[in-house]
Amino acid sequence: MSTSVDDTVVKAADDAPPPRARGTARPGRLARRRERAGWLFIAPNLLAVLVFLLFPLGFSLYLSFHSWDLFSPPRFVGTANYRRLFTSDPLFLIALRNTAVFTVLTLLPTVVIGLVVAAVLNRKVFGIGLFRTMAFLPLVASTVAMAVVWRFIFTTDDGLLNIVLGWFGVDPVPWLTDPDWALVSLSIVTVWKSVPFATVILLAAMQGVPETLYEAAKIDGAGAVRRFRSVTLPLIRGPLSFVFVITVINSVQAFDQAYALTGGNGGPETGTYLLGIMLFQHAFGFYEVGYASALAWVIFAILLVLTVLQLRLSRREETEL
């Protein structure tokens, strides 16, 4: 009997948890401390997101249903700003059309030139680092300073571009004085500014493609163009889709280059009257902040729809592959 009791006591002692040292926190308390420490670390970032992102978004949505001139108290008008935008403001359709044309003129050249430049810079030849640096210089240039320089280049009478065209017998082109040519000029400047970013993304994606795939394609007799089409493009489809989305967003939101190149009125006439120029005019020119907020949310809705469509198309193509 005593032997059985002793065995039971020894077994209970073996199964008991080891004694906890003095000053050691319980596991649950330690987890709570770590959780509080984590919240303290991310609190500044959360506060910044709340103050500089969520609050402005919510306040702009609130203002889109009000009439406000920055001085008098906001006056609730319901959906009047949106009704006016879609039914009685002809400049909105002009801005929408110009932005759509500008996006197409910017998107296709940016993606195509970015692909070509990235493919060239992906080669391992002597001095390629210097060419990469030169190709990426527009990425770090100030947009306003860049637009001012291009404004001198596009001058009709003695601009550098027309002087070069004159050497080949081409008459001077009214780059910034004709409404149609002004939008083309703005697209050229935007492409020049956007290509380096697209090149950086696509070059990084190309450098991640395994060399063994190219070697296998060479063994099968595929040339450089066939390897690029059948190996490179399918494997960089994700970054390519990202470049598409970012280029579309930047084109729809374009403002600073248009303002510096052709002024804040979207001239000549309404040649460069984009959605960004329209928003700026109503917010800071006419002090119609509520109307400008409604326009901002319409731009957001357009970008959301375009982004979702692009992502769905890219995913469908990846599934088919």
Nearest to 111 by CA among 309, 227, 245, 258: 245
Confirm whether 263 is domain-assigned: yes
The reported pLDDT for the residue numbered 102 is: 96
The tokens 């409604």 sit on which residue? Answer: 294
Give the structural domain span for 105. 91-319
Confidence of residue 248 (pLDDT cuts 50, 70, 90): very high
Number of independent structural domains in the chain: 1
Which tens digits make up the pLDDT trace of 279-295?
Answer: 999 999 999 999 999 99
Decide: 176 and 154 in contact? Cβ < 8 Å: yes
The tokens 């987890």 sit on which residue? Answer: 31
Confidence of residue 211 (pLDDT cuts 50, 70, 90): confident
Would you say residue 25 has pLDDT above 60?
Answer: no
The reported pLDDT for the residue numbered 16 is: 52
Confirm whether 63 is domain-assigned: no
The reported pLDDT for the residue numbered 8 is: 53
Confidence of residue 228 (pLDDT cuts 50, 70, 90): confident
The reported pLDDT for the residue numbered 61 is: 95
Confirm whether 98 is domain-assigned: yes
Would you say residue 224 has pLDDT above 90?
Answer: no
The tokens 């970015």 sit on which residue? Answer: 114
Mean of pLDDT values over 116-129: 78
- The total number of residues written for the chain in this structure: 321
Q: Structure tokens of 151?
A: 């404004």
CATH number of the domain enclosing 253: 1.10.3720.10
- What is the amino acid identity at position 137? L
The reported pLDDT for the residue numbered 274 is: 95
HSE-CB at 112 with a 13 A cutoff on CA atoms is: 6
Which tens digits make up the pLDDT trace of 268-280?
Answer: 888 999 999 999 9
The reported pLDDT for the residue numbered 7 is: 56
The reported pLDDT for the residue numbered 123 is: 77
The reported pLDDT for the residue numbered 110 is: 95
| Biggest alpha carbon–alpha carbon distance for the chain | 119
The reported pLDDT for the residue numbered 38 is: 87
Confirm whether 46 is domain-assigned: no
Which distant-in-sequence residues (6+ apart) come within 8 Å of 195 by Cβ?
A: 109, 110, 113, 114, 117, 135, 138
Which tens digits make up the pLDDT trace of 42-85?
Answer: 999 999 989 898 999 999 999 999 999 988 999 999 999 999 99
Confirm whether 39 is domain-assigned: no
The reported pLDDT for the residue numbered 178 is: 92
Decide: 108 and 186 in contact? Cβ < 8 Å: no
The reported pLDDT for the residue numbered 28 is: 77
Confirm whether 203 is domain-assigned: yes
Q: How far apart, in Å, do the first and last CA atoms of the chain sit?
A: 76
Confirm whether 96 is domain-assigned: yes
Decide: 205 and 274 in contact? Cβ < 8 Å: no
The reported pLDDT for the residue numbered 20 is: 53
* CA-atom Rg of the chain in angstroms: 30
Q: Structure tokens of 26?
A: 């319980």
Would you say residue 132 has pLDDT above 80?
Answer: no
Q: Which residue has the higher pLDDT, 144 or 14?
A: 144
Confidence of residue 17 (pLDDT cuts 50, 70, 90): low
Mean pLDDT of the chain: 86
Decide: 199 and 121 in contact? Cβ < 8 Å: yes
- pTM of this structure: 0.83
Would you say residue 142 has pLDDT above 90?
Answer: no
The reported pLDDT for the residue numbered 11 is: 53
SS3 state of residue 273: coil
CA 310, distance to chain mean position in Å, is: 13
Would you say residue 302 has pLDDT above 60?
Answer: yes
Q: Which residue has the higher pLDDT, 141 or 210?
A: 210
Confirm whether 22 is domain-assigned: no
Give the percent of the chain with pLDDT over 70.
89
